[in-house]
Amino acid sequence: MGLTRILDLIVIILLATVILMPRPDASVKPALTIDAERRERVAELQSSLAGKPDDAAASIELANIFLDGHRPDWALATATAAAKFHPDDYRLQHVRAIAYADRFESAPAYEAAQSALALCEKASVPTCDDASHSRISLLVSTLKSIANVDMRVAPYAAKERIFHELHPVFVPRPKNKTAKKPAP
């Protein structure tokens, strides 16, 4: 009876090895496609947040790196966790709005942007400077135009409304002033 159990275990181990071993043509890619220095910074920020989860500056920096690496879900999770500790920080709501917009969720993005604008206009810490207020106001007005559009179903309608709201303009290149004028 002992010999059959040993053979059964060997067969199970061999079967698990065959099933769990990756194919030789499988390619491994990093989950976050950013440069090596920024990946190291992500590791530093994550370890810092593990010890001190209420650090708003580290959360915002980490969320922005995740947004740059095209990981809006990770950025949203980071900003939402930090917003529990800092409900009056407009920067966290601003990052949440951008993350929702990257996920093509217009209604929650608009709500988060409105919350960021309200917190920015309210005298709060950190103070909201004019550049941040302008950025958030532009984001709110743009997201307002697409708040009732499902961006996954009608991406072209959302794109049209965004372009209409942002008023893209053509700025011609300045004429070459260094061209020699003809002699009189």
Which band of pLDDT confidence, cut at 50, 70 and 90, is reported for residue 149?
confident
The confidence score (pLDDT) of residue 54 equals 93
The confidence score (pLDDT) of residue 75 equals 97
Q: Which two tokens stand for residue 178?
A: 């260094």
Q: What is the DSSP letter of 104?
A: T
Cα–Cα distances (Å) from 48 to 44, 45, 51, 52, 57, in that order, read 6, 5, 5, 6, 11
pLDDT at 50 over 70: yes
pLDDT at 184 over 70: no
The confidence score (pLDDT) of residue 2 equals 73
CA 73 to chain centroid: 7
Report the C-alpha gap between 87 and 149 in whole angstroms.
28
Share of the chain above pLDDT 70, in %: 91
The pLDDT of 122-127, averaged and rounded, is: 77
The confidence score (pLDDT) of residue 179 equals 54
**Amino acid identity, position 53:** P
pLDDT at 168 over 90: no
The confidence score (pLDDT) of residue 166 equals 76
- For the chain, domains (ranges, CATH) are 34-166 (1.25.40.10)
Report the C-alpha gap between 88 and 171 in whole angstroms.
39
User: Which of the residue ranges 12-21, 24-33, 173-182 would you say has the lowest mean pLDDT?
Assistant: 173-182
Contact 100, 108 (CB under 8 A): yes
Cβ neighbors of 38 (< 8 A, separation 6 or more) are 65, 68, 69
Crossing angle for the helix pair 155-166 and 130-145, to the nearest 10 degrees: 140
| Position with higher pLDDT, 124 vs 95 | 95
pLDDT at 175 over 80: no
Cβ neighbors of 163 (< 8 A, separation 6 or more) are none
| Position with higher pLDDT, 170 vs 164 | 164
pLDDT at 44 over 60: yes
Share of the chain above pLDDT 90, in %: 53
Terminal Cα distance for the chain, rounded: 113
pLDDT digits (tens, 9 = 90+) for 85-103: 999 999 999 999 999 999 9
The confidence score (pLDDT) of residue 171 equals 61
